């Protein structure tokens, strides 16, 4: 299944033959000796243990951080295969951070090799920039590094056939052409997006994306069984878009998309017909693209799910049947399909361990080196939709991300099975991009890009039209895209908040935010192109950035409610962190009446912004939908409107509120202010009062 190879050490007297999971590339790599500048060694260059190449090796000091660093050049940006040759004559591993261009991208464990004269080469894959790159091995334990002989570097310009890991690495980053050919209506415009143009595809490439996922829903363009013929015009249209993408030098991923819940989900009760129809699609699609470039990949089915079955075991068996049937049909169709990369999802494209284990067993059965695993990632659900009070990118949200990425990396990437996160984003984006607060959103994407990179996972942004303009070719939120794009190559500093609130009704005091340096260092603060003055405008102590009262007073100007100024915190790497300087007073709500279908609380926001809302009955029990939590879902149960000075409670909220029982609402504002309000539903009438 895996491209496991026996790599004999390139050394002269190597006695050990080490099994390495890795891929060798056909072209000769470039060798950088550890003893040759500009390589650096925090220790001495020694030559007392035979078998090294060149004139010596780096014997690093036995200490944390005593690094060996190489400066290597890459002809093009892309995946670089590193071969680091080392000897460790002890029986203890000597792990080291692999730091590429200042960012820790992974940890390498340099195991004992048996003797100081036994040199072995460890293979690692990292992303390199075009031009010069620094690759630093920085030991994380007091034992320091092993002795380091050289670094071989090969940049995958054109991926070698059969090297699935390198190909998928070259697909990073990816973008989804969502809500177009996957629309379930009569044609690709039926979900509100304009017809796809070649200009769109070339502009996607110009944004830096290397791959495009083109989700396709087929069912409404398919004739009846037994042939289930796909309309020729539709198949031609899909081919036209795929060909545009290939011509734009994009890797392309085509799938069966919403068919998954539309009819494939019926497989438990209608196995024969569903399988026949599924097979018919892949038979026709495989024939259509038989000679297409190897840069086209097929994904068996989007977000597989089943209804009416007996549970997990049956679902897993059915998905296995779909995946293996897809695999057999495509492989048997020959041509480039014989070795085309095929992408197989977990059930629900979930990263839960049982789902991963199920898919892994399918990979074991198929035993094919040209397979890719895929899952989707929309973040910790309560954060992703803003429910249950998860308004911030907190430790739990972060752990959900690292846990998911670790699980797929441990299961697949450690076996040289590449992983594509075929969709990522925040679920709240389906309503509007303000469901999650801007700074918290940016922290999520900063971390997602970073962590996927360290795990060598290829990521594809889900975009159903709300991000990249389909005809304007502009980002609706350039700041968000700048953060996402930056995360592909480096970390950025962030902070505990992007909002500093100053009460208008009292004198301005100094305010402190905590910086998340994320491995960067703090450089300063700017307003526009003007530097704030260290000392008089702000002070920095460790990660605590304190703005002085005088700076905040100056920045607040005439202290109108709302954002008076924006400053940008600058770090040694990545994008800046914007902080809004805001003047506010506690918001004021007023008595009103309305109906369960239309209820808007008159609200004077006075510069503040709503984070979340709690709803409880008089006895303290939770009211409204999701009654396992007092904190309701933003934009679903309630929604602020800063333009019309209201907070709306929706019919979805009142549908799950007990008639005649007074509900206490607590509005939580970003300033920290809490405002209490009361609503009572009587039939379809609702009264709202402040006391
Ligand atoms: C021995 C060995 C060195 C090595 C060192 C270490 O001294 O000769 O080459 O670097 O152990 O433990 O790091
Ligand atoms: Ca040493």
pLDDT tens digits for 124-144?
Answer: 888 888 788 999 999 999 999
Average pLDDT over residues 36-46: 96
Whether residue 147 has its Cβ less than 6 Å from ligand 1: yes
The arithmetic mean of pLDDT across residues 658-663, rounded, is: 98
pLDDT value for 240:
98
Burial 74-98 (b: 16+ CB within 10 A, else e): beebbbbbbbbbbbbeeeeebbbbb
Is 299 among the residues known to form the active site?
Answer: no
Q: Tell whether the model's pLDDT for residue 13 goes beyond 80.
A: no
Q: How confident is the model at residue 241 (pLDDT cuts 50, 70, 90)?
A: very high
Contact 317, 273 (CB under 8 A): no
CA nearest ligand 1 atom 8, residue: 116
For position 154, what pLDDT does the model report?
82
Q: What pLDDT score does 127 carry?
A: 84
pLDDT at 484: 98
Q: What is the mean pLDDT of residues 155-181?
A: 85
Residue 3 pLDDT: 22
Residue 64 to residue 584: CA distance in whole angstroms: 48
For ligand 1, whether the C-beta of 42 sits within 6 Å is no
In which band, very low, low, confident or very high, does the pLDDT at 156 lie, cut at 50, 70 and 90?
Answer: low
502 HSE (CA, 13 A, CB side): 31
pLDDT at residue 5 tops 80: no
Does the annotation count 446 as an active-site position?
no
Buried b (16+ CB within 10 A) or exposed e, 533-569: eeeebbeeeeeebebbeebbebbbeeeeeeebbebeb
282 closest CA partner among 319, 254, 307: 254
Centroid of ligand 2 to alpha carbon of 42 (angstroms): 10
User: Is the CB of 61 within 6 Å of ligand 1?
Assistant: no
Nearest atom in ligand 1 to 147's CA? 10
Is the model's pLDDT at 184 over the cut of 80?
yes
Q: How long, in residues, is the chain? A: 691
Mean pLDDT of 3-23: 27
110 close to ligand 1 (CB < 6 Angstrom): no
Q: Is the pLDDT of residue 23 over 60?
A: no
Whether residue 12 is predicted with pLDDT greater than 80 in this model: the reply is no
Tell me the ligand closest to 89's alpha carbon.
1
Distance 56 CA to ligand 2 centre (A): 13
Give the count of alpha carbons within 13 A of 87, CB side only. 29
Task: Give pLDDT, residue 22.
Answer: 32
- Spatial neighbors of 635 by CB under 8 A, at least 6 apart, are 386, 428, 431, 432, 434, 435
The C-alpha atoms of residue 550 and residue 502 are separated, in whole angstroms, by 12
| pLDDT (tens digit per residue) in 323-369 | 999 999 999 999 999 999 999 999 999 999 999 999 999 999 999 99
Shortest-distance atom of ligand 1 to CA 60? 10
Q: What is the mean pLDDT of the chain?
A: 93
Q: Which residues of 617-640 are buried (b: 16+ CB within 10 A; e: fewer)?
A: beeeebbbbbeebbbbbbbbbbbb
Q: With helix as H, strand as E and coil as C, how does 587-628 read? A: CEECCEEEECCEEEEEEECCCCCEEEEEEEECCCCECCCCCC
- pLDDT of 272-307, one tens digit each? 999 999 999 999 999 999 999 999 999 999 999 999
CA-CA distance, 618 to 100, in Å (whole number)? 57
What residue owns the CA closest to ligand 1's atom 5? Answer: 59
Cβ neighbors of 78 (< 8 A, separation 6 or more) are: 127, 128, 155, 156, 157, 169, 170
Which atom of ligand 1 is the closest one to the Cα of 146? 13
The pLDDT of residue 434: 83
Query: What is the 3 state secondary structure string of 520-564?
Result: CCEEEEEECCEECCECCCEEEECCEEEECHHHHHHHHCCCCCEEE
| Cα distances (angstroms) measured from residue 391 to each of 314, 435, 601, 634, 666 | 37, 9, 22, 10, 15
Helix pair 271-288, 232-247: axis angle to 10 deg: 50
Task: Please give the C-alpha separations between residue 209 and each of 214, 373, 480, 488, in angstroms, as whole numbers.
Answer: 13, 20, 15, 10
pLDDT digit string, tens, across residues 584-605: 999 999 999 999 999 999 999 9
Mean pLDDT, rounded, for 391-420 = 97
Residue 6, pLDDT above cutoff 60: no
446: helix, strand or coil: helix
Q: Which atom of ligand 1 is nearest to the CA of 46?
A: 9
Interatomic CA distance for residues 579 and 567, integer angstroms = 5
Name 254's Cβ contacts closer than 8 Å, sequence gap at least 6: 214, 216, 238, 242, 285, 289, 296, 297, 298, 299
Q: How far apart are the first and last CA of the chain?
A: 68
Q: Is it the case that residue 8 has pLDDT exceeding 50?
A: no
Q: Is 60 exceeded by the pLDDT of residue 18?
A: no
Q: Ligand 1, closest atom to CA 144?
A: 13
pLDDT at 1 over 60: no
> Given pLDDT bands bounded at 50, 70 and 90, which one contains residue 15?
very low
Report CA(110)–ligand 2 centroid distance (Å). 13
Phi and psi, residue 289, nearest 5°: -105, 20
Residues around the ion ligand 2 (C-beta < 5 A): 59
Distance from Cα 67 to the centre of ligand 1, integer Å: 15
62 CB within 6 A, ligand 1: yes
User: Residue 496 pLDDT > 50, yes or no?
Assistant: yes
Spacing, Cα 186 to ligand 2 middle (Å): 68
Q: Give the closest residue to 519 by CA, choosing from 465, 571, 454, 461.
A: 571
Identify the active-site residue in 303, 440, 446, 614: 303
Q: Is the bond preceding residue 677 a cis peptide, omega within 30 degrees?
A: no
Strand partners, 599: 649
């Amino acid at each position: 299944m895996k491209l496991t190879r026996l790599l004999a050490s390139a050394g002269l007297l190597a006695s050990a033959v080490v099994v390495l999971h890795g891929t060798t590339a056909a072209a000769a790599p470039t060798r950088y000796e550890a003893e040759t500048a500009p390589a650096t060694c925090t220790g001495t260059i020694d030559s007392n243990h035979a078998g090294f190449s060149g004139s010596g090796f780096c014997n690093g000091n036995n200490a944390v951080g005593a690094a060996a660093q190489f400066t290597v050049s890459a002809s093009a940006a892309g995946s670089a295969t590193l071969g680091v040759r080392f000897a460790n004559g002890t029986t203890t591993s000597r792990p080291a951070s692999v730091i590429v261009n200042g960012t820790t991208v992974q940890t390498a464990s340099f195991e004992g090799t048996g003797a100081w004269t036994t040199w072995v080469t460890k293979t690692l894959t990292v992303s390199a920039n075009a031009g010069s790159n620094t690759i630093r091995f920085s030991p994380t334990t007091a034992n320091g590094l092993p002795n380091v002989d050289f670094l071989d570097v090969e940049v995958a310009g054109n991926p070698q056939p059969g090297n699935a890991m390198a190909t998928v690495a070259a697909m990073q980053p990816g973008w989804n052409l969502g809500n177009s050919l996957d629309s379930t209506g009569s044609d690709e415009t039926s979900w509100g997006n304009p017809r796809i143009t070649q200009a769109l595809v070339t502009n996607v490439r110009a944004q830096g994306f290397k791959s495009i996922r083109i989700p396709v829903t087929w069912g409404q363009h398919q004739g009846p069984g037994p042939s289930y013929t796909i309309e020729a015009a539709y198949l031609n249209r899909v081919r036209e878009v795929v060909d545009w993408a290939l011509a734009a030098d994009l890797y392309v991923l085509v799938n069966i998309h919403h068919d998954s819940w539309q009819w494939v989900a019926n497989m438990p009760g209608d196995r024969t017909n569903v399988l026949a129809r599924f097979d018919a699609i892949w038979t026709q699609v495989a024939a259509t693209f038989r000679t297409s470039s190897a840069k086209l990949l097929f994904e068996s089915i989007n977000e597989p799910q089943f209804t009416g079955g007996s549970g997990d075991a049956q679902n897993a068996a059915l998905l296995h049947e779909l995946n293996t049937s897809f695999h057999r049909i495509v492989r048997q169709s020959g041509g480039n399909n014989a070795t085309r990369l095929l992408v197989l999802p977990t059930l629900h494209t979930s990263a839960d361990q049982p789902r991963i284990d199920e898919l892994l067993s399918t990979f074991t059965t198929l035993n094919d080196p040209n397979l890719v695993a895929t899952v989707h990632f929309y973040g910790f659900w309560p954060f992703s939709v803003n429910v249950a009070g998860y308004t911030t990118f907190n430790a739990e949200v972060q752990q959900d991300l690292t846990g998911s990425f670790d699980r797929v990396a441990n299961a697949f990437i450690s076996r040289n099975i590449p992983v594509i996160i075929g969709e990522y984003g925040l679920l709240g984006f389906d309503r509007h991009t303000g469901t999650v607060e801007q700074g918290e959103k940016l922290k999520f994407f900063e971390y997602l890009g970073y962590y996927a990179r360290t795990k060598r996972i290829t990521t594809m942004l889900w975009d159903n039209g709300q991000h990249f303009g389909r005809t304007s070719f502009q980002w609706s939120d350039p700041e968000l895209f700048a953060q996402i794009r930056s995360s592909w190559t480096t970390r950025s500093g962030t902070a505990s908040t992007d909002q500093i609130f100053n009460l208008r009704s009292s004198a301005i005091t100094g305010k402190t935010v905590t910086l998340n340096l994320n491995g960067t260092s703090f450089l300063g603060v700017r307003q526009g192109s003007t530097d704030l003055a260290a000392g008089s405008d702000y002070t920095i102590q460790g990660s605590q950035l304190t703005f002085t009262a005088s700076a905040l007073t100056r920045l607040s100007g005439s202290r109108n409610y709302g954002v008076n100024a924006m400053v940008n915190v600058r770090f040694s790497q990545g994008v800046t962190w914007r902080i809004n300087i805001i003047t506010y007073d506690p918001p004021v709500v007023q008595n009103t009446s309305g109906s369960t279908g239309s209820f808007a609380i008159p609200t004077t926001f006075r510069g503040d912004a709503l984070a979340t809302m709690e709803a409880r009955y008089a006895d303290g029990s939770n009211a409204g939908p999701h009654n396992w939590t007092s904190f309701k879902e933003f934009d679903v149960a309630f929604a602020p409107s800063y333009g019309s000075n209201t907070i709306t409670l929706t019919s979805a909220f009142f549908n799950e509120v007990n008639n005649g029982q007074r509900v206490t609402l607590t509005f939580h504002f970003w300033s920290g202010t809490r405002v209490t309000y009361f609503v009572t539903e009587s039939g379809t009438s609702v009264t709202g009062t402040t006391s």
